[in-house]
């Protein structure tokens, strides 16, 4: 299934992911959220906290996709270099954003805590539009088609859901799942025929091994609900013909 809907990529900036310290918790949330907006999530990359890597990845992705989202590297410490890197990628000066400063001043008013390190969190490329941070104030920003967000999941989620009106989607992809105990290899040829006959439906086949038993989840995705129903019924019939007792679920079921 390919269409002309807007596309998106995610750039995860973080040594902590590549070292194995932290399991990424943002990609799946972003994937689901973009799905509800009708935006096709096409690629994700994880790069270290290094300027040349970040700049190269941002420029590769922003040229290729409608939207690019980044997570990580916007805090006050020396390893937070995302804002500088995005400015470099766009060939723009890095400035101290007056509105971001104002928000930090309000947040830290009376605490005496607003030092130079924290003010660095107000740096953005010139011309950036802020992304609200209702959790801890220090904002993300948008420049061109790139949306720069925090890596802390709670903050990232608030930022992403807050910029919905800046993102234009296409038709939403609907999903059906068909689960059965028939192993993949037993229906692969029949399924290949159905997939070839209906290119408007993307069909994924995912085996699972639980307590020594094999089961398979078939996931069907399409923008046309009637076509999705038709092909889901065909897949379920095919599995019944093989002696399966398929369970049809909206969405991904309980996996």
Which positions lie near a second copy, rule CB under 8 A? 15-24, 27-32, 35, 41-49, 53, 75-80, 113, 115-118, 120-121, 135-136, 152, 154, 173, 175, 184-186, 188-189, 191-192, 195-196, 202-209, 219, 221, 252, 255
Judged by CB, which is closer to a second copy: 146, or 155?
A: 155
Smallest separation, CB 188 to a second copy (Å): 3
**Least distance to a second copy, CB of residue 135, Å:** 7
Q: Which residue's CB is nearer to a second copy, number 146 or number 173?
A: 173
Nearer to a second copy, 76 or 200 (CB): 76
CB of 158 to a second copy, least distance (A): 12
- The tokens describing 253, both together, are 């079921």
CA distance 13 to 150: 10
CA distance 222 to 175: 7
Question: Which strand (E) or helix (H) includes residue 162?
Answer: helix 153-162
Who contacts 93 (Cβ-Cβ below 8 Å, separation ≥6)?
A: 87, 125, 126
Smallest distance from a second copy to CB 17, Å: 7
Nearer to a second copy, 79 or 127 (CB): 79
Helices (H), 19-152: 27-37, 51-64, 82-90, 98-108, 116-119
Alpha-carbon distance 31 to 37, whole Å? 10
**What token pair was written down for 163?**
């910029």
Please, what is the minimum distance in Å from the beta carbon of residue 75 to a second copy? 6
Within 10 angstroms of residue 222's Cβ, the number of other Cβ atoms is 24
Closer residue to a second copy in complex, CB, 113/126: 113
């Amino acid at each position: 299934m390919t269409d002309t809907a807007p596309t998106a990529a995610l750039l995860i900036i973080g040594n902590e992911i590549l070292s194995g310290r932290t399991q990424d918790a943002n990609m799946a949330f972003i994937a689901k959220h973009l799905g509800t907006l009708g935006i096709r999530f096409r690629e994700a990359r994880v790069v270290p906290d290094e300027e040349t890597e970040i700049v190269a990845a941002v420029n590769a992705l922003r040229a290729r996709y409608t939207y690019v989202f980044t997570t990580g590297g916007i805090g006050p410490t020396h390893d937070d270099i995302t804002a500088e890197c995005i400015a470099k990628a766009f060939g723009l000066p890095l400035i101290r954003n007056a509105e971001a400063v104002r928000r930090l001043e309000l947040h830290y008013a009376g605490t005496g805590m607003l030092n130079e390190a924290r003010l660095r969190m107000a740096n953005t490329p010139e011309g950036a539009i802020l992304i609200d941070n209702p959790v801890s104030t220090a904002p993300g920003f948008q420049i061109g088609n790139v949306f720069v967000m925090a890596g802390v999941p709670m903050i990232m989620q608030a930022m992403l859901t807050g910029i919905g009106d800046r993102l234009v989607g296409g038709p939403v992809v609907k999903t059906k799942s068909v689960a059965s105990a028939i192993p993949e290899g037993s229906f692969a040829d029949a399924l290949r025929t159905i997939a070839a006959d209906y290119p408007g439906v993307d069909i994924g086949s995912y085996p699972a091994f639980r307590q020594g038993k094999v089961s398979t989840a078939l996931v069907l995705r399409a923008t046309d609900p009637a076509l999705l129903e038709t092909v889901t019924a065909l897949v379920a019939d095919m599995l019944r013909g093989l002696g399966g007792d398929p369970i049809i679920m909206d969405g991904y079921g309980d996996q």
